[in-house]
């Protein structure tokens, strides 16, 4: 009788973990729609605020990039609460704050300072999402399947980015950019109840005493992590990959409109095609890692190949929307082979009680420095007036990143 009960419990846990993984996927998807909202609506926002091309490059780049600074802060200093209190209520607060922040961006869109403040709140709200997903997956999935589980929740990012122009473009064109923001906020609010009902650490999680929890010496934990060679390598590599990703993804809509004349309101699906490459990259990289290993080599190949593809994109003699979209597809396919592997390496090397803190520290450092991606692109555009020159700086970041990652091997 006991063995039958054990098998039933194991089967139930196996099915439930896929429900949790699906919910984590939707959480990341909606979060990235919120992150990309200003990028998709940048032309409309610039028209409303009467920005010149230089102002759009600088002010638009700051509006998109400022998110990453509070996001990094939140990762580092809020993520330890995941280890202390568990993921459920932290993620409920995160998604609620995210939705409120997007709504505030629409409501105060005619005031640049308040618009910036809404992006700061968005960053603070979303910083804990990846550490939560990493901790939950470590509790529900074994080592042989973690890479693919990480890839499933992480492809919520490129899917969220890819469908943002498709969903937001017609709304912006027919109703105005503010309504597209309110729509994304509504998606977030609708996820709050399922998160509250479903998210748990692991199949064996016991209810926590919210006045007690797992006390963590944050300073000592950070010192220990920062002096660890494996953590240093993971963080250096992820910072480079993240910087290139944000620099490319946040500028793609504006890049395509400016260099190819593509009207995203009428052809939004074309801007989504490059992110199919990102989805494939996540899945291929994690599958090869789970089956074959060689995680570090996959990461190094990803950085080198994406840097080369950006150069080809910049200097290709072939012009037009189709060629640009194909090359951007290849940039994302190669560049996104690596991201799930960093989280898998953390899950396999960091103790469970510090996993939320470790993931937050890695993600926080990577995204704090990741602001260099969109901001540097914006600065180069403002100085030269050329989007292609702005994109080229990202290839240099990729090459510097692979050197830094290799030096830790």
User: Are 359 and 343 spatial neighbours (Cβ–Cβ below 8 Å)?
Assistant: yes
The pLDDT-based confidence of 171 (bands split at 50, 70, 90) is very high
Query: Domains (ranges, CATH) in the chain?
Result: 13-201+220-406 (1.20.1250.20)
Gyration radius of the chain over CA positions:
21
**Alpha helix locations (H) across 79-145?**
80-85, 87-107, 112-126, 129-140
pLDDT the model gives residue 204: 54
Q: What value does the mean pLDDT take over residues 160-179? A: 88
Q: What is the dihedral of CA 359, 204, 94, 242, to 10 degrees?
A: 30
Spatial contact of 387 and 255, defined as CB atoms under 8 Å apart: yes
Integer Cα distance of 252 and 327 in angstroms: 12
Spatial distance between the Cα atoms of 131 and 129, rounded to a whole number of angstroms: 6
Query: Which percentage of the chain shows pLDDT scores above 70?
Result: 85
pLDDT in tens, 259-318: 666 665 566 677 678 888 989 999 999 888 888 777 888 999 999 999 999 888 877 766
Q: Does residue 212 carry a pLDDT above 60?
A: no
Q: Looking at residues 138-165, what average pLDDT do you find?
A: 85
Whether residue 393 has pLDDT greater than 80: yes
To which H or E segment does residue 319 belong? none
pLDDT of residue 182: 96
Q: What's the rounded Cα separation, in Å, for the pair 331 and 346?
A: 25
Count Cα atoms within 13 angstroms, Cβ side, for 209.
5
Tens of pLDDT, residue by residue over 345-360, are 888 877 666 777 888 8
- The share of the chain scoring above pLDDT 90, in percent, equals 23
Tokens of 92: 């409920």
CB of 394 within 8 A of CB of 265?
no
């Amino acid at each position: 009788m006991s063995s039958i009960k054990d098998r039933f419990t194991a089967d139930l846990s196996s099915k439930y973990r896929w429900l949790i993984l699906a919910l984590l996927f939707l959480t990341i998807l909606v979060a990235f729609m919120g992150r990309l909202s200003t990028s998709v609506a940048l032309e409309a926002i610039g028209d409303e605020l009467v920005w010149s091309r230089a102002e759009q490059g600088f002010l638009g780049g700051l509006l998109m990039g400022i998110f990453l600074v509070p996001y990094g802060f939140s990762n580092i200093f809020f993520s330890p609460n995941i280890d202390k209190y568990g993921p459920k209520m932290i993620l409920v607060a995160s998604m609620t704050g995210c939705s409120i922040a997007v709504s505030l961006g629409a409501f105060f869109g005619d005031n640049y300072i308040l618009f910036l403040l809404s992006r700061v709140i968005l960053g603070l709200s979303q910083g804990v999402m990846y550490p939560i997903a990493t901790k939950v997956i470590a509790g529900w999935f074994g080592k042989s399947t973690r890479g693919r589980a990480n890839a499933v929740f992480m492809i919520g990012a490129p899917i969220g980015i890819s469908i943002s122009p498709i969903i937001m473009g017609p709304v912006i064109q027919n109703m105005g950019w503010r309504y597209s923001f309110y729509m994304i906020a509504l998606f977030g609010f609708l996820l709050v109840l399922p998160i509250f009902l479903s998210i748990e650490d692991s199949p064996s999680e016991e209810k926590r005493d919210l006045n007690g929890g797992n006390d963590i010496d944050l300073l000592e934990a950070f010192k220990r992590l920062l002096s660890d060679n494996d953590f240093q390598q993971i963080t250096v590599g992820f910072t480079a990959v993240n910087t290139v990703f944000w620099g490319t993804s946040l500028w793609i809509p504006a890049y395509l409109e400016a260099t190819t004349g593509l009207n995203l309101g009428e052809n939004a699906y074309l801007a989504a095609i490059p992110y199919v490459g990102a989805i494939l990259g996540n899945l291929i990289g994690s599958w090869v890692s789970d089956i074959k290993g060689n995680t570090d080599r996959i990461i190094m190949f990803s950085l080198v190949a994406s840097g080369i593809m950006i150069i080809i994109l910049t200097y290709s003699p072939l012009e037009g929307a189709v060629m640009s979209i194909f090359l951007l597809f290849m940039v994302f396919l190669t560049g996104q082979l690596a991201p799930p592997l960093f989280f898998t390496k953390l899950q396999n090397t960091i103790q469970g009680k510090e996993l939320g803190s470790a993931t937050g520290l890695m993600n926080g450092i990577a995204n704090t420095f990741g602001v260099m991606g969109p901001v540097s692109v914006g600065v180069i555009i403002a100085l030269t007036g050329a989007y292609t020159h702005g994109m080229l700086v990202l290839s240099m970041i990729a090459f510097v990143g692979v050197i830094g990652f290799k030096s830790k091997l």
